[in-house]
Structure 1
Amino acid sequence: MRYGFDIGGTKIEIAAFDDSMQPLFRQRVPTPGEDYSAFLHCLVKLTQEADQQFGGKGKVGIGLPGITDPHTRQQLAANVPCLTGRNLKRDIETLLNRPVAIANDCHCFALSEAHSPQTQDYSVVFGAIIGTGAGGGLVVDKQLFRGKHGLAGEWGHLPVPAQLFRRYALPSFSCNCGLTDCYERYVSGRGLLALSQHFGHPASNLPELMHSYRDSDALAQQIFHRFIAVLASALAGLQMLLDIDAFVLGGGLSNIPEIYPLLPEAMRENLFAICPPAAILAPVFGDSSGVRGAALLNDAERESL
């Protein structure tokens, strides 16, 4: 048995899978985000209940927001404050008396989607999240690549090229990470809305903006094509650097169907002529990829290649 935990700021989800990764049960509970002892107790209780239900000790994988310090193994998780400064891996392994694999939730998404029928023939798969923020994960030959500091896939905090600012008169945005003009500030949900507001569109939210786009509103179409150009630049850069075979998009903006036909053509001007754009794919497992990828961690992760 494999258990996957998907931990967020408001909910903890556990799912159990058999050896063929068929889901057997799923449960959600509120996240005790301010109390570390209560948080640990919650994970232990859910795991023990699953053990009892399935008659043995399952492998445990945990996906959560934030990063793990590669030296101290302490967490930094703004959305789950009680985890910051804690060595979750050590503590939960002691309580459960078994190995526990832990990874960033974006990495879990990428790992899950790299183990799907639509990606089975691709060697290098990148899961690109475009939702509240912009993050991702890299999977090579079905193995999660994290890198020395666990930062592989953090494309959202690379800088947007100067040529795009000149071509599209883009505004300069500071980022919460401390840098300026990060891709995340332009291609995330709030980034697209910020572009809309900067260029004077009256839409107060993304559904309104996309309704205007589909209704042939000229300004909405200009804004959305600027967004596509910036996102295409980021993905093409990743493809040139890593020779990506396929991108699987995740997050709220991955539900916008217009993205999929527009991105490949927009990527072409950033790639060598002999290099066709990588496949741009919608997620197969979507919101279920968090727990599914976490459940795969024990069998499919390594620190370096």
Structure 2
Amino acid sequence: MRIGVDLGGSKIEIIALGDGGEVLLRERVATPQGDYRGTLNAVAGLVSVAESRVTSLRTCARDGIHPDGACRPAKRNPRQTESGTASVGVGIPGAESLDTGLIKNANSTCLIGQPLKRDLEALLQREVRIANDANCFALSEAADGAGAGARVVFGVILGTGVGGGIVVDGKLLTGANAIAGEWGHNPMPGEYHKDACYCGRKDCIELYLSGPGLAADHRRVTGADFSALDIARHAANGDAACEVTLQRHEARLARALAQVINILDPDVIVLGGGLSNMERLYENVPRLWGEHVFSDRVATKLLKHRHGDSSGVRGAAWLWP
């Protein structure tokens, strides 16, 4: 059994996958806000409950129920570790420094500077694998999602933040600095407003293509305080100002992804996160990005996620072969 944990800023999600990738259990709890120790304990508690519950369900399904209603003791699963526990992978909104082992680049700031891997391994009494949440999303969609069968997959998160992950021949590419795919903190091509990102840089792609970035752009131009969801809904109902805002968003997304294509030349780009549910992106953005790609044709496919908001947590589970 593989266990995946998606450690987000607002929620912690856990999933247990069987040998064939089938979902055995999936649960969510709220993230203890700004509380590192509380976050560790929440993850450990979810793992303990998941192992216990899945073991009981498997035992009852395989061996039946005793006349007194109790399940028989569980038999050892050959996929379990020596201690009899499941493998655990964790997706985080940041990265682990290859130099210090401490968390960096996390928008859940209570994780920054913390030895998350070491602390979780001490609590769970086993090896834990940690990866950026966008990397987990990319791995999930490359393994058995929208990018299954493609040689090079670039997974994109367009949500509260903007992230990316790269999978080549089914293997996650982390890079020499553990930042492969972090396109969200490159400068947005063609924008020179000098707006400051939380990371300390100016005009980051995340400032424009995230959900809050889309809302801020609309507010800056129109004065209307709409959420990204509101903007999409109003545009679909014929609101001209919201339509123009979405057209700006699509043009920016096309320019930003064209840079990725020029460097990585992926077979497939898969979109995830809340903004990925705008169906118009999959037609409009490929129509626009050709102008910026250094090729006479663009064979790269832009696809919607297959596993929805389960992709990140599934990818965390797939960190183990």
Change (3 A) 1:73 1:124: same
Q: C-alpha separation between the residues in 2 aligned to 1:173 and 1:121?
A: 39
1:192 maps to amino acid: L
Per-residue deviation, 1:102: 0.5
8 A Cα contact 2:146 2:304, kept in partner = no
Which residue matches 2:60?
none
8 A Cα contact 1:247 1:281, kept in partner = yes
8 A Cα contact 2:3 2:87, kept in partner = yes
Moved more, 256-265 or 198-207: 198-207
Matches within 5 A, 1:1-305: 1-53=1-53, 54=55, 55=74, 56-76=84-104, 77-79=106-108, 81=110, 83-161=111-189, 164-165=190-191, 171-200=193-222, 202=224, 204-299=226-321
Moved more, 11-20 or 84-93: 84-93
Q: C-alpha separation between the residues in 2 aligned to 1:129 and 1:211?
A: 21
8 A Cα contact 2:5 2:15, kept in partner = yes
TM-score, normalised relative to structure 2: 0.84
Gaps of 5+ in 1: 300-305
Change (3 A) 1:95 1:282: same
Residue-pair matches, total = 292
- Listed one character per residue, the Cα deviations across residues 168-208 of structure 1 (whole Å, up to 9, x for unaligned) are xx744221211111111111112222221222263523333
Per-residue deviation, 1:74: 1.0
Change (3 A) 1:197 1:28: closer
Change (3 A) 1:207 1:43: closer
8 A Cα contact 2:145 2:307, kept in partner = no
Which residue matches 2:58?
none
- Listed one character per residue, the Cα deviations across residues 114-162 of structure 1 (whole Å, up to 9, x for unaligned) are 112532221111111111111111111111111122111111111122x
Give the secondary-structure state (helix, strand or coil) at the position aligned to 2:292. coil
Per-residue deviation, 1:249: 0.5
Gaps of 5+ in 2: 56-73, 75-83
TM-score, normalised relative to structure 1: 0.88
Q: C-alpha separation between the residues in 2 aligned to 1:35 and 1:212?
A: 38
8 A Cα contact 1:175 1:182, kept in partner = yes
8 A Cα contact 1:17 1:24, kept in partner = yes
Give the secondary-structure state (helix, strand or coil) at the position aligned to 2:44. helix
Change (3 A) 1:47 1:218: closer
Moved more, 176-185 or 117-126: 117-126
8 A Cα contact 1:5 1:63, kept in partner = yes
Q: C-alpha separation between the residues in 2 aligned to 1:208 and 1:273?
A: 36
Let me know the Cα RMSD of the aligned residues.
2.1
Change (3 A) 1:209 1:23: same
Which fold has the larger relative contact order, with Cα–Cα distance below 8 Å and residues 6 or more apart in sequence? 1
- Listed one character per residue, the Cα deviations across residues 52-98 of structure 1 (whole Å, up to 9, x for unaligned) are 342541111011112222211012444261x3322121222233332
Larger radius of gyration: 2
1:91 maps to amino acid: D
Q: C-alpha separation between the residues in 1 aligned to 2:107 and 2:241?
A: 36
Change (3 A) 1:278 1:3: same
Instruction: Give the percent of matched residue pairs that are identical in Structure 1 and Structure 2.
Output: 43
8 A Cα contact 2:282 2:303, kept in partner = yes
